[in-house]
Chains A and B, each alone.
Chain A
Amino acid sequence: MGLISVALGRLSQALPLLIAMSLIGFIGIHSVGNPVFNVVNIETATPEDIRQATIALGLDQPIWRQYLLFVGNVIRGNFGTSYIYHLPAFELVIARLPATLELASVAMLIAAPLGTGLGLVAGRRNGTLFDRTVLKASVSALSIPSFWLAMMLILVGAILTGWFPSGGRGSTASFLGQEWSVFTGNGLWHLVLPALALAIPNIALIARLSRSGTIEVESLDYTRFCRAKGLSPERILFRHTLPNISVPIVTIIGLQFGGMLAFAVVVESIFSWPGVGKLLIDSIQLLDRPVVMATLTFISVAFVALNALVDLLYAVLDPRVRLSS
């Protein structure tokens, strides 16, 4: 009962969000320029070619009619055909999803434990050399632009040492009808640098959050009671402090994971990692409207779903959330 009403509530929130997103996205991409010039070769096409292509793409219609057509198609589960690749737009997004999913997951698998661990230890040893190092390193990691970080990783990890490949996905293996890099050694090897590039700023972010949480919790009464009871510092840290600081950490992990799924554009571009973010930015540049809209819709749904998942995790992690609802 409770679960159903929560789910319904979520849906009722998601629907207006999706409509708003599609409107903004649609108007935005339509105001940028005319995609016909990317579809026909402007250097050889005749005005007649351009006119015919405009009609074929439905670009001669007023924008509101184009939008209604788009919504009608989406309701029937059709995002249209990519202007550029001449493939169904949603298929293109789905085909790019494994690459993004594995990149974001590996990056988060590095960032979440490492960031939380560093933060816990730094907070526990508040003021020590270790704490100050973590703090300073996290400030620099957060202020480094991601394109520079990615290039430095390529420079050091690929060009100077030759240890890792400089880009691409390497060999893939088929699983659930999609191609995945994580299941081959070569693919994993290709994952290291881009995953690090995505993980490093997140390690810093999570470490800072968990550090400040730890410092706060460590000064609270129950921690002192635990200490008075004679529990070992490790037990206090992992059994009592960690669960109590986990709500903001889980939130940020959820948000950042969604962000990586959607907007790992810079890293994906530099490592020529064929993911959703790169697809989005390519499609915006080529004004491939169906693909842009399909990608944006996917991203919105992913964010809504992730947020719902994060809310559910709160209830698991924090009994107070369960009680209040």
Chain B
Amino acid sequence: MKLGNPFRACLLSTFLISASFWGAADSAQAQERGELRIATSYKLMTLDPQYANLNENTSLLSHIYERLVYQDENLELKPGLATSWRPLSDAQWEFKLRDNVRFHDGSAFTADDVVYTIERIRDFLKPPSGGFRSYVSGIKSVSASDPLTVVIETNGAVPNLPLFFSSIFVMNRPSEGFETTEDLNAGRSPVGTGPYRFESWSSGENLELARNDAYWGGKPAWSKVAFRVIESPAARVAALSTGEVDVADAIPARDVASLKERGARIASVGAARVNFVQFDVSRETLPGVTDKSGQPIGNPFKDRLVRRALAMATDRGILVDKILAGYGTAAAQVFPNGLPGTSANLVPGTPNYDEAKSLLSKAGFPDGFNLVLAGPAGRYPGDAESLQAVAQSWARIGVNAQPSAAPFSVFNTKRAAGDYAVWYGGTSGEAADIILHTLLASPNPERGTGALNFGKYRNEGFDAMLAKAESIEVGPDRNQALAQATELVMADQPIIPLYHFHHIVGYGPRIGSYVMHPRGWTTAMQTLAAME
């Protein structure tokens, strides 16, 4: 057999080598221009900054648009487009705006633009856009008392108002009317005040940005920023290892070691979020919950001792060390310990199977029972695997859990339909109180509490403590009150906090360092260029 004469092989390799040089020359040129290339898992859905309150949009659009207030990496509030803010009375706030800020189209940023932004969210945007309306629902009126002062009147006290403004991107008022989502998506350049100007995008694929030389906060580090949406984690890792991108976010923990071997560096931080097991504590009988012989039994989760026993029999160490490969923090409350509103007294315990078993006997289940443990697959790091691990832990006290994982949308549909008795979930928020408010406060549509309290857990003592804490102005007193409320509710074990997974970002040699944010954003502003 003859494969081909040596000359041809030689020709081929010459071709390949010259071609690879050609490719290298191309990327060297990119470096000269100071282009930052980021591979992100976040799919940019829309150019409308108020279309959906998802990290997908927030992360990428924060280059273009800015907020009045920022949350730094300790979740503390910092001045953004507003330089200061203060309550004038119980139901009135004043925001002083930054002077000499210009939008990308050259127009000046004034209080009127803030008014426009709030009106657009409150009065103009129609569903399904949303997630932002709750931030402005407490606002009665908003007015510009002078070009750099915004006065906001609220319905009752809203001490969290500055925090809410850390989620709202400010747009500039067009000559007339409101801009529709379609207008913005149709490629009319989105105009903000941010450090980078919009160049081009294609939905779900890429976003190109250029430096805003007139940025009030100083000249941004990169002349260009190119985001590439790469959803497959393996492909993101590959793009980073071959140097095609400088930063890749949402790196799977199992790939960290091999990336380090290839010279990439890793940054990580405990996410400002919690993954947990939630019980249905309201219904009399539950689907899938039976005694050992398969006969239906009454809802065992109404009994605090049962919840306590299951929490005690949950091995968080395995979740964090094995499933998350160390890139996770065992959880005992809604935020990683140390963030505002957390309690230093709540620390995750090691499993104690004997005591758990005796608690279970005391509750009237000496032989345990059967249940189906539901959860989403592929939504959070370690989600489906956690079901298996938790089920194995529970089996040691006689509770036979059958793990049942489903795609996130299916899981949600079934959970909303009441098909589950006990399930794995996850949630995040700007602050600890927001999670407490939606996850653990009694469901109350009027007050808007308990939206994620699918287990219908009610604890009036906790509700009162939380309401009191929420009425306190943001600061140490509020944090202290929140910590106490958390201690009270966690003693009752309405959920089993499992872990706070870590956001992991890998970066290449052109990046000096990368500052992680617990909210999980990936931005060019978080990079410091390497000294060259």
Contact = CB atoms under 8 A, between A and B. Distances in A.
A43 B427 contact: yes
Contact of A129 (B1, B202, B445): B1
A92 B23 CA distance: 30
B131 A86 contact: no
B491 interface: no
A164 B133 CA distance: 47
Interface string A72-89: 000000000001111100
A47 interface: yes
A130 B1 contact: yes
B410 A167 contact: no
Nearest to B273: A43
B51 A270 contact: no
A168 B231 contact: no
B52 A40 contact: yes
B456 to A, nearest CB: 13
A52 B126 CA distance: 9
Contacts of B242: 158-159, 162, 165-166
B205 interface: yes
B185 A45 contact: no
A17 to B, nearest CB: 29
A49 B407 contact: no
A30 to B, nearest CB: 11
Q: Report the interface size class on chain B.
A: 35 or more
B182 interface: yes
A186 B23 contact: yes
Contacts of A274: 202, 204-205
B45 A45 contact: no
B203 A85 contact: yes
A168 B232 CA distance: 12
A165 B412 contact: no
Nearest to B228: A168
Interface stretch (B14-22, B85-93, B171-179, B479-487): B14-22
Interface stretch (B114-122, B233-241, B464-472): B233-241
Interface stretch (A53-61, A106-114, A203-211, A317-325): A53-61
Interface stretch (A31-39, A221-229, A241-249): A31-39
Nearest to A269: B232
A102 B284 CA distance: 59
A296 to B, nearest CB: 18
Contacts of A185: 22
A285 to B, nearest CB: 7
Nearest to A95: B202
Contacts of A56: 126-128
Contact of A45 (B1, B130, B238): B130
Contacts of B26: 186
A37 B239 contact: no
A286 B203 CA distance: 14
A42 interface: yes
Nearest to B181: A86
A40 B235 contact: no
Nearest to B44: A85
Interface string B226-268: 0011111011001101101000000000000000000000000
B144 interface: no
Contacts of B438: 43-44
Most B C-beta atoms less than 10 A away, residue of A34, A48, A167: A167
Nearest to A38: B409
Contact of B45 (A43, A53, A84, A285): A84
A128 B54 CA distance: 62
A165 B23 contact: yes
Contact of A49 (B134, B185, B409, B416): B134
Contacts of A287: 409
A214 B87 CA distance: 87
A121 B52 CA distance: 59
A41 interface: yes
B402 interface: no
B61 to A, nearest CB: 14
A325 to B, nearest CB: 45
A52 B130 contact: yes
Interface in B399-413: 407-413
B235 A167 contact: yes
Contacts of A183: none
A85 B204 contact: yes
B410 A32 contact: yes
A167 B248 CA distance: 13
B238 A53 contact: no
A85 B185 contact: yes
Interface in A1-51: 32-49
B429 interface: yes
B46 A45 contact: no
Nearest to B137: A46
A105 B487 CA distance: 63
B53 interface: yes
Given A42-B412, A168-B230, A48 B445 contact: yes
B247 to A, nearest CB: 15
Interface in A270-288: 270-272, 274, 282, 285-287
A43, A46, A154, A269: residue with the most chain B Cβ atoms closer than 10 Å: A43
Nearest 9 A/B pairs, CB to CB: A53-B128, A33-B409, A37-B412, A166-B238, A52-B127, A56-B127, A33-B410, A33-B413, A34-B413
30 contacts: A33-B410, A33-B413, A34-B412, A37-B409, A43-B452, A44-B434, A45-B130, A45-B131, A46-B451, A49-B133, A52-B128, A83-B128, A85-B46, A85-B204, A86-B46, A87-B185, A129-B1, A130-B1, A154-B235, A163-B23, A165-B242, A167-B239, A168-B230, A168-B239, A168-B244, A270-B234, A272-B228, A272-B231, A285-B409, A287-B409
Interface of B: 1, 16, 19-20, 22-23, 26, 45-46, 48, 51-54, 126-131, 133-134, 181-182, 185, 202-205, 228-232, 234-235, 238-239, 241-242, 244, 407-413, 416, 426-429, 434, 438, 445, 448, 451-452
